[in-house]
Structure 1
C-alpha cells in the first residue's frame, strides 16, 4: 500500500520534471545545469573546508585515551575442572 503511493508520487515528480525540462531551450538547459553544478561545487567545498577547520576543536569525551586495565581473574577451584592437577602461582 505504502509502496504503491511512493511509486505513484515518484512518477508524478518525474512527469513534472520532464515537462519543465522539455519546455526549456537548449541554452536554458545549459544554464540550469551549470548553475546547479556551481551550487553543488560551492556547497561541497564549504562542507570540506568547515570540517577541516573544526577538526580537533571542542571538547568531546567520546574519544578520550585511557590506559588498558588488567583483567580480574577468578581463582576458585570450582570454576574450572582440570584433568591435570597443576598449580599456577602469581609471581
Structure 2
C-alpha cells in the first residue's frame, strides 16, 4: 500500500492520512503534488510525504511520530520519562 501523509510540524498534528492501493501510485503522486501546491503560501510547517508499507499498522510502527505524542512513543518503546 501507499500512504499520503500530511503532518503539521509546528502543531505536531497529523492533518491528512490517505491509503492507496499499490497500483494507484500515479494518483497518490498527483494528490501529493496538488496538496503541496495548495499549501505553498501556508504559514504552517507542512510535511507531505508518500510512504510505501504493507499496512497502516506498519506505517504506525515505523513512523510513529505522525500518530503519537512523544510520551506515547516513549511508553511504547519501554522508556520511562523523568518527571519535570
| TM-score, L = length of structure 1 | 0.31
Which structure carries more helix by proportion?
1
Which structure carries more strand by proportion?
2
| TM-score, L = length of structure 2 | 0.33
Bigger relative contact order (CA 8 A; separation at least 6) = 2
